[in-house]
Chain A
Amino acid sequence: MVENYLRQSALAHLGLEGRAATDEAEAPVRLHERVLPAAVNLRGDSDDPGFLEAVKLAAGLDLPLAPNTTRGDERRAALWLGPDEWLLLHHDAEPDAESRLAAKLREALAGRHSAVTEVGESLACIRVAGPRAADVIAKGCPLDLHPSVFGGAGRCAQSHLAKTAVTLHQVSHEPAFDVYTRRSFSDYLWRWLSDAAREYAEA
């Protein structure tokens, strides 16, 4: 992990904080970066009750077992990535939250067939929210984000958005989506989203 004083959000160079619009609450689409999420990729056997119990004790979250679902809330969440793979997220946490969570998981899962990988620094998270949020994402993503298909808040999916691999997490019915992408793609994806949202007067 890099030294804490050197940690910078993936989009720090864009100076996003200085750009916040005054009428943000009414905007059809709002974009902002959720900075420096703590994220741990977890793999293990979901058929093993001992594994699930150990994770629950260490992470404080039940793992979602149904495809494309999540547990938790927009601050702390567990996302289903595959039949034996999950992404544990912690937003607005202390800088060492990720390494502490990973250490707790490793200790709790010692001796079990599992893998715990700290991935927060490889990720960037962009929040796309507002009544037209799904329309903006749909311009570059093959997923059907209508609630009747996607399932509404608390659902997640991995797909591609404007050619970048993304993990989408719908965090509220508004709708609001957290878009996780590789840190190195985040500048491109931000500019793409910003352009895609322009016709709806993005804030």
Chain B
Amino acid sequence: MLLITCPYCGPRCESEFSNGGEAHIERPKDPASLTDAEWAEFVFLRDNPKGLVLERWNHAQGCRRWFNVARDSVTYEILAVYPMGSPPPALEPRRYV
């Protein structure tokens, strides 16, 4: 079980949160001009890195606010928590061969 530090409420149990998938995916400005493949890329395709992942989380059973989490998908270590709308902090990419 993860201990996630909500930027508003402080450290809380993972069961209070829901995961919102990969962060920093921008909706295309003009969806009508995209090809089907480009739209499918936006809607369905996600990176699945082994190492540093940037995710959105929602404190669903707490303050109900969204925020971003940088996490290591191998060790589950939480590397940073930062608010929605801000760029990801500079973090060393983690390499697992």
Chain A residues at the B interface, C-beta cutoff of 8 Å: 67-68, 81-83, 85, 142-143, 157-160, 165
Chain B residues at the A interface, C-beta cutoff of 8 Å: 8-10, 12-13, 15-16, 61-65
Query: What would be 18 A-B contacts, judged by CB atoms less than 8 Å apart?
Result: A67-B9, A67-B63, A82-B8, A82-B63, A82-B64, A83-B65, A142-B13, A142-B15, A143-B12, A157-B9, A158-B9, A158-B62, A158-B63, A159-B13, A159-B61, A159-B62, A160-B15, A160-B61
Query: B63 contacts which chain A residues (CB < 8 A)?
Result: 67, 81-83, 85, 158
Q: Is the interface of B mostly helix, strand, loop or mixed?
A: loop
Q: Is the interface of A mostly helix, strand, loop or mixed?
A: strand
Task: Evaluate contact between A159 and B65: CB separation under 8 angstroms.
Answer: no
Query: A157 contacts which chain B residues (CB < 8 A)?
Result: 9, 62
CA–CA, A199 to B10, complex, Å?
32
Given contacts A158-B61, A158-B63, A159-B62, contact A83 B8 (CB under 8 A): yes
CA–CA, A81 to B61, complex, Å?
11
Task: Evaluate contact between A142 and B16: CB separation under 8 angstroms.
Answer: yes
Q: What 8 A-B pairs have minimum CB-CB distances, sorted nearest first?
A: A142-B13, A82-B63, A160-B61, A158-B62, A165-B61, A83-B8, A67-B9, A67-B8
